[in-house]
């Protein structure tokens, strides 16, 4: 509905990020099932998924307004978890370095 265009657009963006992350993850699994190296694709998937989790968590907080910051609704917890995801297993900058190195840059 037009009156909820902003919320609808944020949800659409979240869906696009989710489906893209899913496809990147499936590609890594497919490469591994063929016995091929998936180092580059795994690094790309981890970088993309972790950064999209942060973006989608911010979007969720924005959609909930002030309630998004309240611990009772647990939306803010997703953001805290998402930020942690950009650090576990290598920061986004380290993952970018790994991707560049594998690409020979």
Query: Among 1-5, 9-13, 17-21, 75-79, which stretch is predicted with the lowest mean pLDDT?
Result: 1-5
Per-residue pLDDT tens digits for 68-79? 666 777 788 888
> What is the pTM for the complete model shown?
0.84
Number of domains in the chain: 1
- What is the number of H-type helices and E-type strands within the chain? 4, 0
Return the pLDDT at 1.
59
Residue 88 structural domain: 2-102
Nearest to 83 by CA among 43, 55, 58, 54: 54
Question: The domain spanning residue 62 has which CATH number?
Answer: 1.20.140.10
Q: pLDDT, tens digit, for every residue of 21-45? A: 999 999 999 999 999 999 999 999 9
């Amino acid at each position: 509905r037009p009156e909820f265009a902003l919320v609808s657009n944020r949800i659409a963006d979240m869906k696009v990020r989710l489906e893209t992350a899913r496809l990147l993850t499936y590609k890594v699994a497919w490469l591994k099932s063929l016995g091929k190296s998936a180092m580059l694709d795994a690094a790309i998937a981890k970088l993309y998924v972790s950064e999209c989790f942060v973006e989608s968590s911010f979007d969720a907080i924005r959609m909930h307004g002030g309630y998004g910051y309240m611990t009772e609704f647990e939306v803010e917890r997703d953001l805290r978890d998402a930020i942690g995801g950009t650090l576990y297993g290598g920061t986004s900058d380290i993952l970018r370095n790994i991707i560049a190195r594998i690409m020979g840059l």
